[in-house]
Amino acid sequence: MSKGLQFVSRLLLLTLLTISVTGGLGALAQEMPALAVTEYTLENGLEVILVEDRSAPTVVVNVTYQVGGANDPAGRSGFAHLFEHLMFEETAHLETGELDNLVETVGGYLNAYTAIERTVYYTALPAHQLPLALWYEADRLASLVVSQDNFENQRAVVIEEYQERVSNSPYGEAIQDLFTLPYTFAPYRQRPIGSVADLNAATIDDVIAFHATYYVPNNATLVVAGDIDVESTRSLIDEFFADIPAQAEPPALTSDTAGESIANRVNIGDPLANISAILIGYPVPPRSDADFAALEVATRILGYGASSRMAQALLDTGLALDTGVFTDGNREESLVATYAFANMGVTLDEIEAVYQDVLAQIIADGPTADELDKAINQIRSERIVSLETVEGLAEAVQVANFYFDDPQAVFGEIDRFADVTVADVQRVVSEYLTAENAVVILVEPGEASTAADTSAEATAAAEANVNAATSAPEPAFVIAQAEPPEPLPIREFVLPEIRETTLENGLTVIVIPRPEVPIISVDVYMPGGESAVAPELAGVAGMTADLLTRGTENRTAQEIAAEIEQVGGVVGADATQDRLAAGVFALREDAELAFAILSDIVLNPTFPEAELEVSRQQFITSLQDVFANPDALAARTFTRLVYGDHPYGIVPTETSLTAIDRDAIAAYYADQANPARAFMIITGAITPEDGTALAEQYFSGWVWEGDDELAALPEPQTSTEPGIYLVDRPGSTQAQYVIGSLGISGSDERRDAARVLNTILGAGFTSRLMQVIREELGYTYGISSSFTYPVTQGTVSIATAVGNDVAAPALEAILEQVNLLRDETVPQSELDAKLSGLIGSEALRLETYQSLVDFVAALRLRGLPVSEISDRIVRLANVDVETIQTAAQTLIVPENLLIVVVGDADVLEAPLSAIAPVTVLEAE
């Protein structure tokens, strides 16, 4: 539903998930007053929390250590984060890479993140594989082994992550400043991602000391959530963890002074940005403080949702492309942050003045009672969704325990929000969101005002450390069991019933009951999308989707937003290559309201002229963000080159967006809005009978006269010559790659083979590309391959970002892996492992209501039966070595590959020309 601005996703990524859990779960407070929690502490100090949830045969093991970026040693910023990477390497019983293989082979996934004051490791698995996760968590807690090779490799990976997120990313420095500079508590001013100089200065001795200090059982909390038997789980935990000895208590975070003085205004020139931005941070009380709850409610009122004060003042008026206000809660001191991105031609002074006016209005008059209720309802519905997966459940329990010393605070915290008054909001805004308390960061496109941290001195220090480094000693303690344990008995995953009905007007209604989730989700899909648009009007589908929620015959844009957001719901619309869609989410008691609003925007849109002009300006401005971001620009360029003049290759430009008028939008929608071609998916706590009845009640009046058949798209033919296409982005410190060609359609019989092939090549941490390009060579933070499966013909591609100094060898290594996959038969053992992982992951893959909706929608758009959901395991099991080899040789053809690179042409053209002919393209 966004229009391409990537800042918010980057912002949330860099906060390392610490924001997502500050929302609320309150609607469950009355229905589920307590979790099924068992809490105890082992003699060695390990805190254990077990949460039983039998809704699906899945389980998550979450181990949180009380150590983060704030605990980094002096001169070693980023060290906790570097150490997080090393925890996935070698232990007393596991070789490098073995851990990922064990987990992915049984259908699970694992990951970790480092925040200011916590490092969190989590694994999601089929429930019967719980013993495996408990065993290896104990193994790496007790007996991590750090080799010189692993240490050097992971340091290189983390430095590439720094380049990708900070030095080569628009707003990278500004985001880091936003999450550090406002704090007065000195330890929080350290960047968890660190600096290249400090990372290069780290040694193995540092790692050993860090592990011994913080990675001890008496500094950790183990949460096991999901389909578990409490007594047998306790026995397993005792078996693996009880004998690990406690150690000295780690040093507490302290701040003897208020920290060095920081200017209230910071000006950043960002040569990689195309859009001006203002970021404002305020230090506020800890999350456990009563005022934090009032601040959380205040930020919702100020900047969350289309009916928020900031959205009305900046987005509805066309001043900004995007804006928001949020909290980031911590133990010692928290943060309130505001961001806004100016539309083209709007100054940051104008944006800031409007923001200050909004604050002044809140302080003078306070929010309305409706605004207060809306904010609390939004928090409540978010908490419900966050608990739908066992991963979310385990994280919510960890957070509640960490900040409130009470796992049941998952629900209890909602009482704090419910107690907030209008006067409380006025008071906390006037007390904390003041000019004196703020750090204002102004980002303007232009000459860099900060230098990249890639000094020769840092490199020299790293080389000196390699020569001086010691070998890691033998672990002081090794758990007794040397081999992975046997799994528990299997409980099969049972898919919910899927009921399909056709109304008299031709609308297909699909209901997927999920009674365990107290929400209602309704989505209407209209086949066609961007591919049904004339080239000179490219972007009309996206703008049409945007305008669907901006006015109907019965409601204005603000009335639509306010009505659904008042009950904690969300409404939106978007367009892709193959469809236009609109959807609504709400709590189950608001099902009738959800249907009423969705039917109004689908059946009665008016596409107001004034809203069109605001939307147009936002779309044009968002293009500038695409052009500034190397990953988005590489993907856009690849799409244009691989599809050529085919409808899939037509992308919006400022010219096409300017040409779109209201008549064009109305005509486009009139062609798309055909109930006989459309389908509706309803899911949540609703029966098939009730869902179908509501669809009939609200959508039976949807009529359309015209051709029921959608015009078939032509088969795409790539006219671009294979080779390297280098999009010049002066100043880039990385080369951003997209390497690929045309693939197959979503209904192609080879789709199962393609899925397995993709898993072998580049999907998942144990894929060949990830293991070689990241783990063995240390060239990248991440690399992946993908097949797309649209209605007509998709693509196969590989995407990664690597440092300029290794751009050529990285490309050669990638192409080598492609050729090996084609030329050498995949070992049966490798295929068996991938099939086992894919089949074992089905319960996790379809755990959420949204994943089921997305899967069913994709099948319908491709003309495939919904039964493929249940048939998929059988189809995968039929993929053999011969099938894979044929797929590799026919679907990935090296001589057809287009290699798109976004980077500095002055640096990259010469080395890349030694591999293949290079065509330099100017950035759009």
pLDDT, tens digit, for every residue of 601-648?
A: 999 999 999 999 999 999 999 999 999 999 999 999 999 999 999 999
Is 191:180 a contact under the CB 8 Å cutoff?
yes
Which of 844, 829, 855 minimizes the C-alpha distance to 766?
829
CA atoms of 150 and 90, how far apart (whole Å): 8
β-bridge pairing 334-342 and 320-328: antiparallel
Q: Give all strands of the β-sheet with 277-284 in edge-to-edge order.
A: 265-270, 439-445, 277-284, 334-342, 320-328
- Report the pLDDT value the prediction gives residue 463, as an integer from 0 to 100: 46
Least confident span in 486-500, 526-540, 798-812: 486-500
- Report the pLDDT value the prediction gives residue 464, as an integer from 0 to 100: 46
Instruction: Give 256 or 207, the one with higher predicted confidence.
Output: 207
pLDDT at 467 over 50: no
Binned at pLDDT 50, 70 and 90, residue 268 comes out as: very high
Within 285-413, strands assigned E span 320-328, 334-342
pLDDT at 22 over 70: no
Binned at pLDDT 50, 70 and 90, residue 46 comes out as: very high
CA atoms of 543 and 664, how far apart (whole Å): 11
Binned at pLDDT 50, 70 and 90, residue 461 comes out as: very low
- Report the pLDDT value the prediction gives residue 444, as an integer from 0 to 100: 97
- Report the pLDDT value the prediction gives residue 472, as an integer from 0 to 100: 58
Buried b (16+ CB within 10 A) or exposed e, 171-209: bbbbbbbbbbbbbebbbbbbbbbbbbbbbbbbbbebbbe
Q: Average per-residue pLDDT in the chain?
A: 90
Least confident span in 2-6, 74-78, 307-311, 564-568: 2-6
Binned at pLDDT 50, 70 and 90, residue 289 comes out as: very high
Q: Quick one: how far is CA 4 from the chain centroid?
A: 14
User: Residue 798: which residues within 8 A CB-CB, separation 6 or more?
Assistant: 737, 738, 739, 740, 761, 762, 769, 783, 784, 785, 814, 818
Task: Give 157-189 pLDDT, tens digit per residue.
Answer: 999 999 999 999 999 999 999 999 999 999 999
Least confident span in 162-166, 521-525, 908-912: 162-166
CA atoms of 120 and 401, how far apart (whole Å): 13
The phi, psi pair for 638, rounded to 5°, reads -60, -45
β-bridge pairing 320-328 and 439-445: unpaired
- Mean pLDDT within 464-477: 58
H-helix or E-strand spanning residue 351: helix 348-365
**pTM for this prediction:** 0.91
- Report the pLDDT value the prediction gives residue 3, as an integer from 0 to 100: 30
pLDDT at 468 over 50: no
Is 272:447 a contact under the CB 8 Å cutoff?
no
Least confident span in 336-350, 444-458, 519-533, 673-687: 444-458
Binned at pLDDT 50, 70 and 90, residue 29 comes out as: very low
Q: Distance between terminal CA atoms of the chain?
A: 24
Binned at pLDDT 50, 70 and 90, residue 381 comes out as: confident
CA atoms of 136 and 154, how far apart (whole Å): 20
Q: What share of the chain has pLDDT > 90, as a percent?
A: 80
β-bridge pairing 898-903 and 119-126: unpaired
CA atoms of 801 and 631, how far apart (whole Å): 8
- Report the pLDDT value the prediction gives residue 752, as an integer from 0 to 100: 95
Which of 585, 570, 579 minimizes the C-alpha distance to 713?
579
The phi, psi pair for 901, rounded to 5°, reads -130, 130
The residue with tokens 């860090």 is 210
pLDDT at 457 over 50: no
CA atoms of 669 and 447, how far apart (whole Å): 44
Which of 53, 29, 870, 227 minimizes the C-alpha distance to 512?
870
- Mean pLDDT within 551-556: 97
Task: Give 128-138 pLDDT, tens digit per residue.
Answer: 999 999 999 99
- Report the pLDDT value the prediction gives residue 470, as an integer from 0 to 100: 52
CA atoms of 111 and 84, how far apart (whole Å): 10
Task: Give 744-761 pLDDT, tens digit per residue.
Answer: 999 999 999 999 999 999
